[in-house]
Amino acid sequence: MEFMEDLGAFLHSRRARVTPESVGLRPGARRRVSGLRREEVAQLVGISVEYYQRLEQGRSSSPSPEVLGAIARALRLDKVESTHLSSLAHPPRHPNGHQPVQVRPELLRMLDRMASVAALVINDRFDVLASNELGARLFEPVLAEPDSQRNLARHLFLSPTAADFYLDWDEIAAATAAQLRLVRARHPADSELAQLIDVLTAASQSFQTHWSAGDVELRAAGVKNLRHPDAGVLALHLENLDLPGDPRQRIVALSPAQDPATETALRCLATSPPSATVPAGTPTKP
């Protein structure tokens, strides 16, 4: 039932974004809602208002793929949102909440060889599982935490220094909440993920705001701007490298974003003595 409520909340948030004019409807007068009315969505989809209302109120389950496709078109969902809609409407029948935290030895050796790139292995909960030496130095503020709290999302929303470290904090915060929402729909039995979301919701008003927006987002490459306590301001190109053999793990690799000052600062950081308690090339969790 919880995920049917999530389905309803997602439909409501997406409906509020769509204007009547954008789907060829006349807005009319005295509208009391932002976006489309329920009856307008039902009209566009070709279902009864009562049935759509039950979906949005979490009182109906297992809509057909045809209905979901029509809803996605009516609400102008993109590919990621459409996939998320299907995940909410049809959660796994035999969900597996277990997620191994071990990182393959071959992967650890590869991290060691990526000397000029700051690299982390994280899972889809944003737990930091391993790092190379430069990654440990770059993410010292996160990796200085106890093992159980070495989590990028936890640091982002709960650390008082995170907004100084991430110069693009607002953008990263919105993307992180949107990615966690996507993972939650894919892995509804993941108790550690549920606990993380509960902690962030209870302790961070910013997380609450981004979470309640209902947005979903795939991880993406791009330039991230950090302010490191030793290296100063860094402009870094970030790549997320999926691991087919470990589908819930990925490598996060950061390299200078065609910025000579960042290149120099990273070289200095790589040769400076580390103060974090994370050995390079080894797991950060047992």
**Helix 169-186, helix 205-212: angle, nearest 10:** 60
26 φ, ψ (degrees, to nearest 5) = -80, 130
**Helix 191-203, helix 169-186: angle, nearest 10:** 140
Q: What is the DSSP string of 17-75?
A: T--GGGGT----S---SSS--HHHHHHHHTS-HHHHHHHHTT------HHHHHHHHHHT
- Residue 55 covered by a domain: yes
**Same domain for 232 and 204:** yes
- Residue 99 covered by a domain: no
| Residue 99: predicted pLDDT | 64
**Same domain for 212 and 74:** no
**Same domain for 147 and 44:** no
**Same domain for 153 and 16:** no
**Same domain for 121 and 81:** no
Identify the domain containing residue 39 by its residue range.
Answer: 2-89
Give residue 266's identity as a one-letter amino acid code.
L
Number of domains making up the chain? 2
**Same domain for 109 and 78:** no
- Residue 131 covered by a domain: yes
**Same domain for 81 and 112:** no
**Same domain for 170 and 109:** yes
pTM of the model: 0.86
The segments of the chain whose pLDDT lies below 70 read: 1-3, 29, 94-101, 274-286
Tokens (6 digits) for 172: 């990263």
| Residue 2: predicted pLDDT | 61
CATH code, 43? 1.10.260.40
- Residue 127 covered by a domain: yes
pLDDT in tens, 30-72: 777 779 999 999 999 999 999 999 999 888 778 999 999 999 9
| Residue 100: predicted pLDDT | 61
